Amino acid sequence: MNKKRIIFAIVVALVFIAGLIILSIVLSYHKITISDPNSVSVSLYNSADKDKKTISTISSSTTLSLKDGEYCSVTSDNAYDTAPSCFTVQGKEVSVTINPNYSESRLTALLPSEISAINNVITTKYAGIIKQYTVGSGKLYGQGQWYGTTLAQIVGPSDRPDIYRVLLQKSNDAWKIVAYPQISLSKYDYPQVPYNILKDINEQSGYSAEMFDSSNSKNSLSGGSGTPIEQR
């Protein structure tokens, strides 16, 4: 084999290797369909980048081409939760929805407009027993479609009240109870509810001064005689 043939063979081999490298790079990129129903502006970055450099700014539904890896989106809009939301691209096309929860301050501001309807649902559902319980101030979650609170027995100074937790969901502009009052809400019993919501409700203390005075119903909803709360 002469020198020219050797050089030609080397060139062909290098071109072949380069082609394989380019092909592998091309194949590592996939179509990512991003849905942004509320037009929330977010910055997208590769989670492997310690500097979290923005690779795209998204404020509406769009399509991107991203290589395999984990990516996170984060918003600077104080009306929404600014915690990052991440997704993985691995060997196939991916559809991603950008729909962050409301911020704590926004949920707190929204609660007064919803609390009357919420309390009415609880009062109606447990009319026969609710008078003997103090209803906690509760919290809204998600985008205001979840509400969790506590029901604590009104007891004497020397007694420790049982604390029950209840969860409501708003659907079609109406609130309904989706987790009846119980000591702890389990993710196994309510897999359709985001775990962070169940965890936060379970961590609500439910204690207040009024619950230790059986004659004080200042913070309780009106109802009938006191009996243990049961599933209804």
Q: For 100-146, what is each residue's pLDDT tens digit?
A: 999 999 999 999 999 999 999 999 999 988 888 989 989 999 999 99
> Which token pair is 2?
């002469």
Residue 214 — pLDDT band, cuts 50, 70, 90?
very low
Q: Exposed, middle or buried by CB within 10 Å (0-12, 13-18, 19+), for 50?
A: exposed
Instruction: Please give the CATH topology (third level) of the domain spanning 30-100.
Output: Immunoglobulin-like (2.60.40)
Any idea where the domains of the chain sit in the sequence? 30-100, 106-212
Q: Rounded to an integer, what is the distance from CA 125 to the centroid of its chain?
A: 27
| Residue 80 DSSP one-character state | B
Q: What is the pLDDT of residue 9?
A: 64
Task: Provide φ and ψ at 73, rounded to 5°.
Answer: -115, 145
* pLDDT tens, position by position, 179-199: 999 999 999 999 999 999 999
Is the C-alpha dihedral spanning 116, 118, 123, 125 positive or negative?
A: positive
Q: Flag whether pLDDT at 67 surpasses 50.
A: yes
Joined tokens for residue 127: 């009319």
